[in-house]
Amino acid sequence: METDRASIRILRQGPALLSSVSTGFMPLEIAELLIRIGDEEADRAGRGLVHFLDWRAVTGYDGEGRKRCTAWALRRHPSPELHILSSHRLVRMGLSAASMMLAVAGKRILRAYERADDFDAALADRVRAPLPKRMP
């Protein structure tokens, strides 16, 4: 998907396992796309979604989109597991705030990365890992 301010490319790495690369200022439309695809993938696979988001070229995001994504992560069962790489200071601050909000609700589901090597290694490990059990 591409807008006048941002782009995203989403790849399916396995059942309920996604990776994506984004650039620019993330608008509400991309947040809605992430939620829709996350629901579809998790429901199809019958397990919690794992998504690796490469946001090293993301400069910011729409506040309403952040609220909707956080609300989605709070209500989604099983909980998603989100790995986000960011090099922009303000984006990392927002991720830290979202992570704390989710943790207060008992959902330690967001892992932020500053180093691409760490992010890439975590993605590679997950792609090779055995699949978790399907939910009944």
Query: CATH no. for residue 75?
Result: 3.30.750.24
Write down the pLDDT at residue 133.
63
Write the pLDDT tens digit of every residue in 52-72: 999 999 999 999 999 999 999
**84 pLDDT above the threshold of 90:** yes
- Number of structural domains in the chain: 1
Containing H/E element for 127?
helix 116-128
**pTM over cut 0.85:** yes
**What is the torsional sign of CA 20, 24, 70, 120?**
positive
26, part of any domain:
yes
Percent pLDDT > 70 in the chain is 96
Write down the pLDDT at residue 58.
97
User: What domain range includes position 45?
Assistant: 6-128
121, part of any domain:
yes
113, part of any domain:
yes
Alpha-helix runs per DSSP H in 47-112: 63-75, 89-104
100, part of any domain:
yes
Burial 104-136 (b: 16+ CB within 10 A, else e): eeebebbbbbeeeeebeeebeebeeeeeeeeee
**What is the token pair recorded at 37?**
């695809």
108, part of any domain:
yes
Write down the pLDDT at residue 136.
54
